[in-house]
Amino acid sequence: MQSTITGKAYVLGDNIDTDQIIPAQYLTFNPAVPEEYQMFGKFALSSVPASQAGLPKGHVPFHTKDEFVSDYRIIVGGKNFGCGSSREHAPIALDAAGIEAVVAEFYARIFFRNAVNGGYLVPFESVNRLCDRICTGDDVKIDVENNLLHNLTTGEQWQLKPLGEVAPIIDAGGVFPYAKKVGMLKV
């Protein structure tokens, strides 16, 4: 795992569900096929109506229709990020779109576990409600070792909750690489 994660923030609100992250009509792609994996990035956060709660003011697009990877690297969300169905494709879609970390007040348990188990992205929890303090497009930096989020645009800084016991799993690249690394699985 990197010691810092830096990039533009894409800000969402509360209760962003897995259907918003990757709409069901795109689940026909196979993430095991590299050409199809990138399609998850292309359609991540693509079909959310402008009136849907939780989107940035003015419905700032996550990326253009022709892009597979977004210009954003860090999502800042509110409460219950990744709720809804238990589809493991949601963190895959964000990873394919270039998202390296999500910072939310708290996560739906299954999204959190899927993100960690697959090693797709780093799911930080915030101490404060940051989705009301950071704007889409702000340059931000996460100091992973010190659990801090710096808004490079405004100069503000906030404490994040430590990753705790999931840090070595994320660092190894997911639960199976971690299990091999610590001798839980024979190679």
**How do the domains of the chain map onto residue ranges?**
4-181
Burial class (CB in 10 A: 0-12, 13-18, 19+), 25: exposed
Q: Place 11 in a pLDDT band, splitting at 50, 70 and 90.
A: very high
89-101 core/surface letters (b: 16 or more CB in 10 A; e: else): bbbbbbbbbbbbb
Read off the tokens for 91. Answer: 């963190």
Burial class (CB in 10 A: 0-12, 13-18, 19+), 13: middle
For 51-69, the pLDDT digits (tens) are 555 565 556 778 877 889 9
57: left (phi over 0), alpha (psi -120 to 50) or beta: beta
Question: What is the structure's pLDDT at 66?
Answer: 81
Q: Place 142 in a pLDDT band, splitting at 50, 70 and 90.
A: very high
H/E stretch holding 159 reads: strand 157-159
**Which fold, 4-181?**
Aconitase; domain 4 (3.20.19)
